[in-house]
Amino acid sequence: MRAMAPVVLTFPHPLYAEMVTHVLSNPAQEMCGLLAGRAGVVDRMWPVPNALQSPVAYRMDGPEFAAAMIGCDFEPLGIFHSHPAGPTGPSPTDIAEAAYPDSIYVVISLQTLPPSVRAFTIVEGQVEEVPMDILT
């Protein structure tokens, strides 16, 4: 287990664009997935179907989630999901259900164009924003 989340979450532009494209592929539902990498640099992204198929909640399970967790060595660098009509940060449900204190939670709000993409740590109910850097 990592001791602490990185100070900055860094995305290569193609992976960042792929994540946002995945979220926008069904803007009426919360979309989700996992991010892998080291030292705060994302090097892999796995879209995972939202088992709840809901506009206000998400849950990852099934074979796609298992494959993504294996790809992350069971330690995701980040977990991303969208808020079709929700806040630009973690919702009360997101905070209550945050189960990976060493991971960064990326929230993509579709309330703005372009979408708002922000990153956070959530540890024991405490939320802290993590700066992001998108490499071109």
pLDDT digits (tens, 9 = 90+) for 20-33: 999 999 999 999 99
> Choosing from 30, 75, 124, 129, which is the catalytic residue?
30
pLDDT over 50 at 16, yes or no: yes
Residue 7: per-residue pLDDT: 82
pLDDT over 60 at 117, yes or no: yes
Q: Does domain 9-135 have CATH number 3.40.140.10?
A: yes
pLDDT over 50 at 62, yes or no: yes
Domain chopping of the chain, boundaries:
9-135
Residue 64 annotated in active site:
no
CB atoms within 10 A of CB 45: 24
